[in-house]
Structure 1
Amino acid sequence: MLNEATPKLAERLAKRLSEAVHDGELGAGTRLPTEQALCEQYGVSRTVVREAISMLKREGMLISRQGSGTYVTSKPSVALRLSQPQGDFSAVVEILELRSALEIKAAELAATRRDNAHLRAMRNALAELDEAVERGEDGVRQDLAFHRSVVAATGNQHFLETIDFLHQLLQQAIAVTRRNEARNAHYMQQVDHEHHALLEAIAAGDSEAARQAASTHLCNAETRLREARSEADGDG
């Protein structure tokens, strides 16, 4: 049964269902249990179940079939073998390196290919991130949604499919960086500034500025992690 405060219940359930998919408990093509069954299994309301399912549909993990139910979408089986970073410092740094390889180029392309719908999606994602932080939430899902919206603006389906393939990996790494940044108000201000700098560069159609903004953001994320680690070692 889930015991978190109500605003977090849907995200908690979405995470549990996502883990069930990646652990193989819910395989590709599997029909999801009924809403009532999920309510009973996790001790939550239908509203929470529906919101959690909506989250996973937006992330491409679940799909509804008219008159049949909700199913796990087809995912490459190798996704189940991706090692998860958890809280391990070196693993998170390696994922930041992976993100750099993808997202810096994506930002550069997004600046020349984005349209008004893409820009709205980016702005909405940042607004939702601000609202999540104000509610005292971690903002991981909204942070990831912003970076995904930048990738979507490339118009390159292969970029987008790669990000979606790595979804669980990126989500857990972002959770680690955001937990670290939430401990320091200055860090949070930096992240907010970096996100908006990236958005502004893309909106201006400046591919070099967008590339630099993405690089700065990811490099700074690693720097913030290293600073926090040094402080923790010093306290020890």
Structure 2
Amino acid sequence: MSRQYQRIGERISAEIAQGDLTTGDRLPTEREYAERFGVSRTVVREAFIMLELAGRVNVRKGSGTYVCDPNSAALTNPAPAGDAPDSEDIGPFELLNARQVVESAIAACAAELITKPEIRRLQQLLDDERRGLTDVARGRSQHVEADAADRAFHLGIAEATQNTLLYEMATRLWDQRRRSPMWQHLHARILDFSYRNDWLADHDAILRQLRKRDSQAAQQAMWIHLENVKTTLFALSDTDDPRFDGYLYQQARAR
């Protein structure tokens, strides 16, 4: 069964194929599509990402999303299989919704069972993440180290539940993010990583509640954190916003 963003993307693609939208036409806004199809804007955002990866549309800086020339290089030289979305790719906001539900419950469970060595380990990971973000800000490194510490922090909380199935569920969600061309397309275009300091503060808040062994507060802190992640990524990739700077999108095979 196709995913919701795929069905919306296919409907937009059909409009292009039928000539309702032609080369150079600006697509309606996400809000207009959301109202027309009765879906959220995040679903439309995911459909746009799918269409851009397929070479059907491109985003012009500060202008909007436009239909590509069917004879363009993006279509005559399609993306490598590893870069193209497939039927198994989960939209980035759908994935974040799933993580929010699962990881919030995991945080609540972990708060009841976490040990002092595990708390020390999580603190070390936050120190690693903080150091990695500082190095990025000073131009001394890429964000790889900070990303690795981010993943390890979340999975460390899952491990603290002492429940193998919960740990495997969390790992699967993070692995899906790593494999997802749509996630990479959304995330890798961000050039300004200052927002990651806010996420680090969220991590501090989560660990603080784990230390207190406050299950409800740990669950809420994780929920708020992943809500902040969704909100930030959605705002940074809003092509309908006149302040959009094009960081997240380029013409499909321009790179």
One fold, TM greater than 0.5? yes
Hey, which of these two has a bigger chunk of helix by percent? 1
Partner secondary structure for residue 230 of structure 1 = coil
Instruction: Provide the rounded CA distance (Å) in 2 between the counterparts of 1:201 and 1:194.
Output: 11
**2:82 equivalent to 1:83:** no
Residue of structure 2 in register with 1:188 after alignment:
196
Residue of structure 1 in register with 2:152 after alignment:
145
Instruction: Provide the rounded CA distance (Å) in 1 between the counterparts of 2:115 and 2:95.
Output: 29
> Equivalent pairs: percent with the same residue?
23
Residue of structure 2 in register with 1:135 after alignment:
135
Letter in 2 for 1:149: G
- CA separation of 1:180 and 1:153: change in aligned 2, threshold 3 A: farther
TM-score by length of 2: 0.52
Q: Which of structures 1 and 2 has the larger relative contact order (alpha carbons within 8 angstroms, sep 6+)?
A: 2
Structure 2 residues not aligned, in runs of 5+: 1-85, 137-141, 245-255
TM-score by length of 1: 0.56
Letter in 2 for 1:109: C
Q: Is the 8 A contact 1:125 1:142 kept in 2?
A: yes
**Post-superposition shift, 1:182?**
6.0
**Post-superposition shift, 1:150?**
0.8
**2:212 equivalent to 1:204:** yes
**2:69 equivalent to 1:93:** no
Bigger-Rg structure (1/2): 2
CA deviation digits over 1:68-110, x for unaligned, max 9?
A: xxxxxxxxxxxxx98346xxxxx11011011012100000011
Instruction: Provide the rounded CA distance (Å) in 1 between the counterparts of 2:207 and 2:92.
Output: 24
Q: Is the 8 A contact 2:103 2:170 kept in 1?
A: no
Q: Which stretch shows the higher mean deviation, 133-142 or 150-159?
A: 133-142
Alignment partner for residue 171 of structure 2, among 154, 164, 167?
164
- CA separation of 1:121 and 1:151: change in aligned 2, threshold 3 A: same
Instruction: Provide the rounded CA distance (Å) in 2 between the counterparts of 1:209 and 1:182.
Output: 33
Question: How many residues matched?
Answer: 150
Structure 1 residues not aligned, in runs of 5+: 1-80, 86-90
Q: Is the 8 A contact 1:140 1:175 kept in 2?
A: no
**2:114 equivalent to 1:114:** yes
Q: Is the 8 A contact 2:206 2:221 kept in 1?
A: yes
Q: Is the 8 A contact 2:99 2:170 kept in 1?
A: no
